[in-house]
Every structure is written in C-alpha cells, then in structure tokens.
Amino acid sequence: MQIISQILFLVALGVAAYFISRRVMLIKSTIQLGRAEDRSDNPSERLRTMLLIAFGQKKMFTRPIVGLMHFIIYAGFVIINIEVLEIMIDGIFGTHRIFAEPLGSFYDFLINFFEVLALGVVLVCVAFLVRRNITKVERLQDSRHRELKGWATKDANIILITEILLMWAFLSMNAVDTILQERAVGHYAEVITGDFWVSQFLKPIFMSWSDSGLAIYERTAWWFHILGIMAFATYVTYSKHLHIFLAFPNTYFSNLKAKGEMTNMPTVTKEVKIMLGLAEADAEPAEVGRFGAKDVKDLSWKNLMDAYSCTECGRCTSSCPANMTGKQLSPRKIMMDTRDRLEDIQKGWLASDRKAPIAEFEDGKSLMGDYISEEEILACTTCNACVQECPINISPLDIILQLRRYKVMEESQAPASWNGMFSNLENNMAPWKFSPSDRFNWIENLK
C-alpha cells in the first residue's frame, strides 16, 4: 500500500509539473509577442526596487489596514508552504514527518509558527470574502467598474475559499496526527511532537473518532493539502493571482525614469532634430514602422508582462480623476483588456493547426477597437495617478499613450479641439492661436 501511495504521489507531481511548465512556456511566448525594449540598466537599483515593492510590499501600506491584511495572507501562505518540502519528501520516500527527529524542538517551533500564520491566513481570507461579497467595497464591485463581471469576481472568491480549505487541511491534519500519537497508533507513535499552538484547539472535534477513522482523515487531509497545493499552483497560471510570481520580475523591470517623463517615438524625435538642424538625415532613410500601437504586438514585452501581472485590485481606477468624474476610462480595465486580448490570441492559436508560431497568428481583431474604445483612451489626463498607486509598478498610462498615438498619427482621428492645438503648436510653438512675436504683449498691461 505504501508503494502504491508513493507511485500515486510521483504521478500527481509529474502531471502538475507538466501542466504548469506547459502553461508557463505559453505565457512566456505570449509576452514575447511584444516588441523589444531594453530594461537591463541599473541592476542594483532594479534589485532594490524589487525587494522594496514586491518582497517588502511597500506600496501596499499606503492603505495601512488593507496592506497589513495583504501582507499576512501573502507572507503566511508563502512561508507555510515551506512545509510542502517535508510533505514532498514524505510522499516520495514514504516517510512521516521526516524533519521532526533531526530538528528536534526547533521543528516544533517551526510548525507552531506555521500554524499561527495559517490562522492569520484563514482570518484574513474570511475578511476579504466579507469585503467583496457582504460589505461590498466599491472598487471591487461590478456596478461602478464594468470590468469586474463574471469570471473576474468568481476567480477572487475561488482563490480565497481555496486558501481557507488548504489551511484547514493543514491545521486539522496536525490535530488528528497528535491524537494518533497519543493513542500510539501505528507509525504515528514513532514521531512524538506533542500539541501545537493552534491545532490543539481542534482536537475536541476529533476525540470521539475511532483510530481507523482518524488515520483515514489524517491521510485524506494530507493528500488534500498536497494535491491542493499542486492544483493551486496550476490554477494560478490561469488566474489574476499569477502576480504572486510575476510581481518579482515585473517590479525588477520597472521604469526607473521620473513618472512625468514620457517616452518619445525615436522616429518622430529624429525628424524634429533634422528640422531644427540638430541631426542629419540618413542617406537611406529607414522604413518607418507603425506609430503607436493598434494591437498587443505593437506594445513592448514589458507592457504585456504588466498585463499578466495585474492584481485587479482597482487602486489605479479608484485614484483615476477621469474615472471619478464618470468617464469611461478605468486603468484596471485597460490592463484586463490587454490580458484578455493575449488570452484570446493564445486560445485561437491553440485551436489552429499550430504549424506557424504564435507570433504569426492573426484572427482579424485588435486591442484598439475590439477591446478598448476610443472614448476610454481620450479620457486619460496623463496624470500618472494610476502608475503611482499600483502596488507592483504597472503602467496603464504607457499602453494608453501608445493606443492614442495610433489613433491620432495613423488614423488621424483626434478631437477637433486637439487638432486646433496641434496646428497652433506647429505654427506658433504654443497651444494658443497668436504669433510668437506677440507672446509677451500682456506685459504692457502691467505698466
């Protein structure tokens, strides 16, 4: 029976590894659809940013209570899963609590620490479920933010409930294990740990159970916990909670420039310099690519990584002045739409014969128009509030600017008031319609 259990464990581990690696490679290929962009400068500053923002959760604490709750659930779930190492070894070699004897009293301290964290995760998950479904925090509801509908809402609830169940399996498994130790049942008597800080309060629930019933429950909870972790790791690659892993590379490759600095298009910049006599025209002018972005392939790989890293927390949208005044723009929706477009490309490519690489797949749709409307991108004030608020340094503004450049420069679809301003800038070097020589005439009124 033990050998069968070990074989089943290895099979489950192999299946999970196969599906996770397959999904990871597909996401990597999809992110690489974006155009090249160099983010390799200042490695020390990038590492510092990653440690502060992703690992230290620095920007989460701009809202202290929610920040603390998020830190508990994040740190707790990650640290508790260190115990998965022991479960993995026990599953492969057929042992039981293999670290208990060599670590001695330190092992008891670790499990006690893990149990306190597990309790914290359960309490915070319950609080988050209440916030989403009972008290209905405004930025997490469908009524105001159109992007939070259907799967987006279900995904958040599925993750929170799954984490509660996994923590329950961990705590109840420990409670039943200690009862079996006290009763000297089978191999459980070989490792005596004593009661743990949290699970000891669950023991009364199981004290009336028979030895065989307890042994079955302990194994069931053990299998549920490890299979749940494997299933969770696989599910996360399809979920918004992919940010658990992508937050680290995403913050490492953050834009280190000042937030008010916009990246100019090199082609346009060179043309301006040539007009001003600051540069010389090339003997053979290079072919001009698309101005701005129409689809995800026109965006950079970092823009696409941003989309996959989005937590859908809504801090960007709740701080957006355009959204506050009732405009259609929601920075969170921009990121979710970009990810939806990438996912649709994936699905279309997977459903095709796949003879050509995913980069060559076309379905006749585009990000601009089919997913994001002109009204949304024109509402943006480029204030950078969304960039400032994002807890993992995502920039919806960069995507908005590139889409807007496409509409204005490629399709010549700008509001009439904008066209007037562009004309004045070109002719008068100012947004106003008067000659540069008259610019300081207002001084005469001060005499």
pLDDT of 16-48, one tens digit each?
999 999 999 999 999 999 999 999 999 999 999
Q: Are residues 336 and 203 in the same domain?
A: no
Tell me if 233 is assigned to some domain: yes
Of all helices (H) and strands (E), which one includes residue 109?
A: helix 105-133
Q: Are residues 199 and 333 in the same domain?
A: no
pLDDT of 257-306, one tens digit each?
888 888 888 778 887 788 777 888 776 666 667 889 999 999 999 999 99
Tell me if 203 is assigned to some domain: yes
Tell me the average pLDDT of the chain: 91
Which one-letter DSSP state was computed for residue 60? G
Q: Are residues 225 and 316 in the same domain?
A: no
- Number of CB atoms found within 10 A of residue 145's CB: 21
pLDDT confidence tier of residue 143, bands split at 50, 70 and 90? low
Q: Is the pLDDT of residue 248 over 90?
A: yes
Tell me if 135 is assigned to some domain: yes
Radius of gyration (C-alpha) of the chain in whole angstroms:
28
Between helix 243-252 and helix 301-309 the angle, nearest 10°, is: 140
Count Cα neighbours of 357 within 13 Å in the Cβ-side half-sphere. 5
The better pLDDT of the pair 276, 376 is held by: 376
Q: Are residues 10 and 106 in the same domain?
A: yes
pLDDT of 213-231, one tens digit each?
999 999 999 999 999 999 9
Q: What is the three-class DSSP state of 34? A: coil
Quick one: pLDDT at residue 12?
95
Q: Is the pLDDT of residue 403 over 70?
A: yes
DSSP-assigned letters across all residues of 276-290: TTSS---SSPPPP--
Quick one: pLDDT at residue 435?
80
Tell me if 54 is assigned to some domain: no
pLDDT confidence tier of residue 389, bands split at 50, 70 and 90? very high
Q: Are residues 119 and 232 in the same domain?
A: yes
Strands (E), 301-424: none
Cα(299)–Cα(403) distance, rounded to whole angstroms?
A: 9
Last residue of a domain, one of 252, 286, 309: 252
Q: Is the pLDDT of residue 149 over 90?
A: no
The per-type count for the chain, helices as H runs and strands as E runs, is 20, 0
Tell me if 231 is assigned to some domain: yes
Quick one: pLDDT at residue 416?
84
Contact criterion met (CB below 8 Å) for 243 and 305: no
Quick one: pLDDT at residue 250?
97
Contact criterion met (CB below 8 Å) for 252 and 47: yes
Domain of residue 421, residue span = 294-358+369-438
Q: Are residues 176 and 241 in the same domain?
A: yes
Q: Are residues 20 and 108 in the same domain?
A: yes
Quick one: pLDDT at residue 339?
97
Contact criterion met (CB below 8 Å) for 288 and 24: no
pLDDT of 310-360, one tens digit each?
999 999 999 999 999 999 999 999 999 999 999 999 999 999 988 899 999
pLDDT of 71-116, one tens digit each?
898 888 778 777 888 999 999 998 999 999 999 999 999 999 999 9
**Range scoring the smallest mean pLDDT among 16-25, 172-181, 432-441:** 432-441
SS (H, E, C) 370-422: HCECHHHHHCCCCCCHHHHHCCCCCCHHHHHHHHHHHHHHHCCCCCHHHHHHH
Q: Is the pLDDT of residue 399 over 90?
A: yes
**Torsions phi, psi for 257 (to 5 deg):** -75, 160
Quick one: pLDDT at residue 418?
87
Q: What is the three-class DSSP state of 206? A: helix
Q: Is 356 left (phi over 0), alpha (psi -120 to 50) or beta?
A: beta
Quick one: pLDDT at residue 288?
62
Tell me if 275 is assigned to some domain: no
Cα(55)–Cα(251) distance, rounded to whole angstroms?
A: 10
Average pLDDT over residues 122-148: 86
**191 burial level (CB within 10 Å; 0-12, 13-18, 19+):** middle
Q: Are residues 11 and 93 in the same domain?
A: yes
Average pLDDT over residues 61-80: 86
Contacts of 343 (CB under 8 A, 6+ apart): none
Quick one: pLDDT at residue 447?
62
Last residue of a domain, one of 227, 252, 277: 252
Cα(197)–Cα(193) distance, rounded to whole angstroms?
A: 12
Contact criterion met (CB below 8 Å) for 116 and 171: no
Q: Are residues 242 and 303 in the same domain?
A: no
Tokens representing 143?
A: 């009524």
Last residue of a domain, one of 252, 281, 305: 252
Helix, strand, coil shares of the chain, percent, nearest 5, are: 65, 0, 30
Contact criterion met (CB below 8 Å) for 99 and 191: no
Tokens representing 443?
A: 């001084």
Tell me if 423 is assigned to some domain: yes
Identity at 363, one-letter amino acid code: D
Quick one: pLDDT at residue 144?
64
Tell me if 202 is assigned to some domain: yes
Q: Are residues 423 and 311 in the same domain?
A: yes
Cα(354)–Cα(178) distance, rounded to whole angstroms?
A: 54
Q: Are residues 303 and 234 in the same domain?
A: no
Cα(143)–Cα(395) distance, rounded to whole angstroms?
A: 25
Q: How many domains does the chain have?
A: 2
- Number of CB atoms found within 10 A of residue 151's CB: 13
Q: Are residues 225 and 352 in the same domain?
A: no
CATH value at residue 399: 1.10.1060
Quick one: pLDDT at residue 78?
76
Report the predicted TM-score, pTM, of the whole model to 2 decimal places.
0.91
